[in-house]
Structure 1
Amino acid sequence: MSNGLYLYGIFPAPGPQGLALEGLDKQPVFNQAIDGFVFLYSEAQQERYLASRKNLLGHERVLEQAMQAGYQTLLPLQFGLIIQDWDTVAQQLTIPHGERMKQLFDRLDGQREVSIKLFWTQDVELQMLLNENQDLKAKRDSLEGKTLSMDEVVLIGQAIERAMESRKQAIINAFRETLNALATEVVENDTLTESMIYNAAYLIPWDAELEFSRHVEALDRDFDGRLKIRYNNLTAPYNFARLERLGQ
């Protein structure tokens, strides 16, 4: 019994041509045209795919290879989507949401998504803060070897917390002020770990990536090794073409 068809993404017709792409479970990737849209798919070998690193990267690789081959405008589908027949796709997606999908293609034409994730080492930043603020350092040091009231402990802790938050916001604002002006659209996402202080995606003109990356490098130099910057310069535009927003 067939496990169905695994879907990767949607392209404007005629879609990717002549590409030998390998999908999940090393299956060949094919095109299917429906109502002026072209879906990339492969034969599903499992009823359900676990969101393992290997599978997630395999899904991403199909879309990135198509983009690198010149098929730059696409609507990426979320990982794990398996269908049993194309009629369902037509009835649930291309027929009711076709106009909105075309609008998304128009918006994404000539654009690419890049992303920034900023990480800091909190202990190092705290020590830098205290070195730069001797009054705060003296208050923090007063916690050691003395009997303080709970109110005093809380007040000192709050002062340090506010100062660290201000320090973090100054970093974030520097990136916003430099990079947001280069982007057509910006989406700020939740931070994923305690050490991650900023997580943003940018929609930029396809040929503006070199300039954008130079600004990222300049910001890295400005902060002189204080930050770990994870910059992704090629990714499917998940933040700007989310299919769950269609029809809203």
Structure 2
Amino acid sequence: MAVYVYSIVAATHPQRLDDLDGVGNPPTNLRTVGTDKLAAVVSDAPEDLRPKRRDLGAHQAVQERLMADGTVLPLQFGFTTQDDDAVRAVLEDRKDEFTERLGALENCVEYHLKAAQSEDALLREILLESDEARGLNEEIRSGNSSPDLSFALGELVSREVQERQDRLAAGVLDALRGFAREERPSQATGNDFLSVSFLVQRDKEQSFLSEERGLAKELGEDFDLRLVGPLPAYSFV
């Protein structure tokens, strides 16, 4: 029967799973498949598994329990393989790689930060600080309806937005990366100018959080910094 794989831990990890259920309806039973160095937390793989709330919650609960007791390599929801022997073979074949990553993640948690600036505030800032943009805008407002002016203003504002957001993102990263062991940027979407995950050591966690709060206060109410964590280190496996 196909096997659903939740995460990988060291063989010495406590692996306290007795009161947790696996994914599926009815819930599957959790078990471990191990070698002398590593263990994978698995269950039978339900047929037609979908990312429903109950199953996502069961998957996350396993990661959080393991994370509370030691270091974990969390797999993304939905990972399956052929059987226990296939799991054991991967653990053996990639033991050096997995052992290295467990060492890199030891005593660390993940925090994910997204940041955005109010569009209206950003536009006001550009018109206030850019003589060229302000001049074009005033000429258009005075009644000049030339499409060339509107195009030129649009191009200028677009460039200014990108340059300013790049500088903002770099500033936020510079302020926080000193508290993180690693960082993993991802594609910002919507109004966000930054989307990044930080791998934060436990002994620097409070300093990291304090710095992020101070940064949010310094940037002001026109900015929206959304920090999520502590999380299992999905981005760093």
| Alpha-carbon separation, structure 1, partners of 2:15 and 2:60 | 18
RMSD of aligned Cα (Å): 2.2
Contact kept, 8 Å, 1:12 with 1:36, in 2: the verdict is yes
| Alpha-carbon separation, structure 2, partners of 1:128 and 1:40 | 52
* Deviations 1:18-62, CA, capped at 9 Å, x for gaps: 342233234443333234211112333x32322345533432232
Find out whether 1:187 has 2:184 as its counterpart: yes
Find out whether 1:109 has 2:76 as its counterpart: no
Contact kept, 8 Å, 2:16 with 2:65, in 1: the verdict is no
- The residue type paired with residue 85 of structure 1 is D
**How is 1:26-175 mapped onto 2 (pairs within 5 angstroms)?**
26-44=27-45, 46-68=46-68, 70-71=69-70, 73-91=71-89, 93-133=90-130, 136-144=133-141, 145-150=143-148, 152-175=149-172
| Alpha-carbon separation, structure 1, partners of 2:23 and 2:83 | 19
Q: Which residue of 2 is the match for residue 234 of structure 1? A: 230
Q: When the two structures are superposed, what TM-score results if normalisation uses the length of structure 1? A: 0.83
Contact kept, 8 Å, 1:64 with 1:234, in 2: the verdict is no
TM superposition shift of 1:200: 0.9
TM superposition shift of 1:133: 4.2
TM superposition shift of 1:124: 3.5
Find out whether 1:203 has 2:204 as its counterpart: no
Q: Name which of structure 1's ranges 26-35 and 96-105 shifts more when overlaid on structure 2.
A: 26-35
* Deviations 1:73-102, CA, capped at 9 Å, x for gaps: 1111121122342111223x1222111111
- The residue type paired with residue 193 of structure 2 is I
Q: Name which of structure 1's ranges 135-144 and 58-67 shifts more when overlaid on structure 2.
A: 135-144
* Deviations 1:128-158, CA, capped at 9 Å, x for gaps: 43244465234124234323253x3332222
Q: Which residue of 2 is the match for residue 246 of structure 1? A: none
Q: Which runs of 5+ in 1 are unaligned?
A: 242-248
Q: Which residue of 2 is the match for residue 222 of structure 1? A: 218
- The residue type paired with residue 24 of structure 1 is V
Find out whether 1:9 has 2:10 as its counterpart: no
Q: Name which of structure 1's ranges 107-116 and 213-222 shifts more when overlaid on structure 2.
A: 107-116
Contact kept, 8 Å, 1:187 with 1:202, in 2: the verdict is yes
SS class of match (1:9)? strand
SS class of match (1:194)? coil
Q: When the two structures are superposed, what TM-score results if normalisation uses the length of structure 2? A: 0.87
| Alpha-carbon separation, structure 1, partners of 2:232 and 2:15 | 18
SS class of match (1:118)? strand
Q: Which residue of 2 is the match for residue 244 of structure 1? A: none
TM superposition shift of 1:119: 2.4
SS class of match (1:219)? helix
Q: Which runs of 5+ in 2 are unaligned?
A: none
SS class of match (1:239)? helix
Contact kept, 8 Å, 2:16 with 2:66, in 1: the verdict is no
| Alpha-carbon separation, structure 2, partners of 1:42 and 1:89 | 11
* Deviations 1:192-213, CA, capped at 9 Å, x for gaps: x221211111122122111100
